[in-house]
Amino acid sequence: MTPQSTPDSSPSGAAVKAADRAHVFHSWSAQDLIDPLAVAGAEGSYFWDYDGRRYLDFTSGLVFTNIGYQHPKVVAAIQEQAGRMTTFAPAFAIEARSEAARLIAERTPGDLDKIFFTNGGADAVEHALRMARLHTGRPKVLSAYRSYHGGTQQAVNVTGDPRRWASDTGTAGVVRFWAPFLYRSRFHAETEEQECARALEHLETTIAFEGPATIAAIVLETIPGTAGIMVPPPGYLAGVREICDRHGIVFVLDEVMAGFGRTGTWFAAGLFGVVPDLMTFAKGVNSGYVPLGGVAISPAIAETFAKRPYPGGLTYSGHPLACAAAVATIGVMAEEGVVEHAARLGSDVLGPALRELAARHPSVGEVRGTGMFWALELVRDQQTREPLVPYNATGEANAPMAAFAAAAKRHGLWPFVNMNRTHVVPPCNVSEAELKEGLAALDAALSVADTYT
Ligand code: PMP
């Protein structure tokens, strides 16, 4: 990977960078091949470096600042909670924690009324799978190849994408299958109906050959995020729900990325009218201001642990600062109509504008998404759909995507880039003017990608 950020010329920026380079061991990176930007500050949809260079953040951090950076009401709520009760152990009833759980349970689909708090998304997935295995007494979990569920051991084992390869210990009991993705159909489908029917049949066959009574859970992202924002065809998730019911399998929906307004609804499950048995969340629950995640639990699974202890917990589970941030964030989202705003801006402004870009740029193979959750699939050839860079490319092979990202940054836009895709995932409360500014920069960066077609 080629370092892409601008060097910091200011003395404080240089000092921050020097200490980072000397002592911070960064995630998912070859330590000597990265050059992290030293960030001096952030507000709303923007952040800036120590030289005053400002970037419009079309990544929402790692798709978590759903209400942007430094929302004054959330910052005030964290300060207020810090003044009153900075921390407290999990085994007590704490106002901020009870209130956060109530507000989350009120918004989760169906009857998911109990909330187990974690520190983030991966540990939420870990615990959801543990609950499913203990509830069913079965060993296996089925997950999709095109998926990301987190960086801890069990979560990375159920992950489909290449981040699993180096650390997969081949844990017994994880079986992967293909979820629907019409643009690159594994099922030779030409319509969404075919893709849906064949993907469900493939899942049924996988279950039949694995032995239904050995399968504890099927885990899916409601709309797979990092793997490409592939909105499932109508009927797919309802079909999986029906299959799970028929075989006594726990249906886990991972809404760590898609939840809390990202798709223009509180939870993406609502778009498809499905209610899972367990649902994981994190990120947008408090815009990532203080680490928080969790699992929303159905009454039947909660009942399993009514008289027998649930064997699992975390020291900082439901940390008061994180929960106070969640209460304030959910309050801001409700008061400011952030979810409705994301839905309207997605369907009236962002979706049409991205399709218009796709019509003009030969490098755009497909546009897909909803709300503030969009992906552009970049290709060398729109007919053959050959990706702009090979799967999991690094170094020179990844040069076209690196050039695209560098061009976006030159135009003041911080893009989300993953393999041959750019995801357009700004804060859910981004303004229309900010969106248009970002789209103009994206237009310019796509012209660079076009030179590789
Ligand atoms: N599940 C999904 C769908 C995610 O997108 C992510 C993070 N990108 C995770 C789980 C893991 O969350 P965390 O990084 O907070 O552990």
Using the structure block, give the residue that is written with the tokens 């099922």: 187
| Statement to judge: residues 161 and 243 lie in one domain | yes
* Geometric angle at alpha carbon 11, from 9 and 16, rounded to 5°: 95
Number of domains in the chain: 2
Of the residues 307, 335, 363, which one is the last residue of a structural domain? 335
Contact present, 119 and 283 (Cβ < 8 Å): no
Domain C-terminal end among 317, 335, 353: 335
Q: What mean pLDDT value characterizes the chain?
A: 96
6 located within any domain: no
Cβ neighbors of 244 (< 8 A, separation 6 or more) are 218, 250, 251, 277
pLDDT at 167 (0 to 100): 77
CATH code, domain carrying 29:
3.90.1150.10
Please give the single-letter amino acid code of residue 86.
T
Q: Are residues 293 and 178 in the same domain?
A: yes
Looking at the CA of residue 150, tell me the nearest atom of ligand 1: 11
Residue at 1 is within a domain: no
Is the minimum distance from the CB of 150 to ligand 1 under 6 angstroms? yes
Write down the pLDDT at residue 2. Answer: 36
Q: Give the pLDDT band (50/70/90) at residue 171.
A: low
Those residues whose C-beta lies under 8 Å from the C-beta of residue 84, and which sit 6 or more positions away, are none
Does residue 282 lie in a domain region? yes
Q: Would residue 4 count as lying in a domain?
A: no
| pLDDT tens, position by position, 96-115 | 999 999 999 999 999 999 99
Residue 215 lies in a domain: yes
Distances (CA, A) of 413 to 56, 142, 444: 5, 38, 10
Determine the distance separating the centroid of ligand 1 and the alpha carbon of 130, expressed in angstroms: 17
Q: For atom 13 of ligand 1, which residue has the closest CA?
A: 121
68-95 pLDDT tens trace? 999 999 999 999 999 999 999 999 999 9
- Test site for ligand 1: of 256, 280, 285, most ligand atoms within 8 A of the Cβ: 256
Domain membership of residue 174 (yes or no) is yes
In the chain, what percentage of residues exceed pLDDT 90? 93
The residue out of 335, 361, 387 marking a domain boundary is 335
- Closest atom, ligand 1, to C-alpha of 257: 5
**311 and 437 in a common domain:** no
**Span 54-80, mean pLDDT?**
98
Gap from CA of 254 to ligand 1 centroid (Å): 9
Tell me the DSSP string of 119-181. Answer: SSHHHHHHHHHHHHHHHH---EEEEESS----SSHHHHHH--SGGGTTT----TTEEEEPPP-
170 — pLDDT class (breaks 50, 70, 90) = low
Ligand 1 centroid, distance to 121 Cα (angstroms):
4
Whether residues 28 and 79 fall in one domain = no
Which structure tokens are listed for 405? 């990202």
Q: Judge if 260 and 358 occupy the same domain.
A: no
pLDDT at residue number 8: 64
- Domain co-membership, 129 together with 85: yes
What single DSSP character describes residue 359?
A: H
How does residue 4 score in pLDDT terms, banded at 50, 70 and 90?
A: very low
Residue 151 CA to ligand 1 centre (angstroms): 8
Q: Are residues 282 and 396 in the same domain?
A: no
- For residue 2, being part of any structural domain is answered with no
Query: Which of 117, 127, 149, 219 for a ligand 1 pocket mutation test, highest count of atoms within 8 Å of Cβ?
Result: 149
Question: Which SS3 state, helix, strand or coil, does residue 292 take?
Answer: coil
Contact between residue 284 and residue 252 where contact means Cβ atoms under 8 Å apart? no
Task: Check which CATH number belongs to the domain holding 244 and give it.
Answer: 3.40.640.10
The mean pLDDT value for 250-270 works out to 98
16 close to 401: Cβ distance less than 8 angstroms: no
Q: What distance in Å separates the CA atoms of residue 348 and residue 346, rounded to the nearest whole number? A: 6
The CA 360 to ligand 1 mean position distance, Å, reads 34
Tell me the DSSP string of 394-449: -GGGGHHHHHHHHHHHHTTEE-EEETTEEEE---TT--HHHHHHHHHHHHHHHHHH
> Is 3 part of a structural domain of the chain?
no
Q: Pick the atom of ligand 1 nearest to 224's CA.
A: 3
- Do 61 and 77 lie in one domain? The reply is no
| Residue 115 shares a structural domain with residue 177 | yes
User: 282 CB under 6 A from ligand 1?
Assistant: yes
Task: Give me the pLDDT at residue 10, please.
Answer: 80
Beta bridge partners of 56: 46, 413
Please tell me if the CB atom of residue 254 comes closer than 6 angstroms to any atom of ligand 1: yes
Asked if residue 216 and residue 327 are part of one domain, the reply reads yes
Residue 27 sits in the same domain as residue 139: no
Answer yes or no: is pLDDT of 20 > 50: yes
For residue 293, the ligand 1 atom closest to its alpha carbon is 15
ipTM score of the complex? 0.99
Identify the domain containing residue 24 by its residue range.
Answer: 11-67+337-450
Structure tokens at 318: 């439901």
Relative to beta strand 140-144, strand 421-424 is unpaired
Tokens of 23: 């002592």
Question: Full-prediction pTM beyond 0.90?
Answer: yes
| Bridge partner residues of 364 (DSSP) | 378
Query: In this structure, are 126 and 274 located in the same domain?
Result: yes
Of 33-37, 151-155, 315-319, minimum mean pLDDT range: 151-155
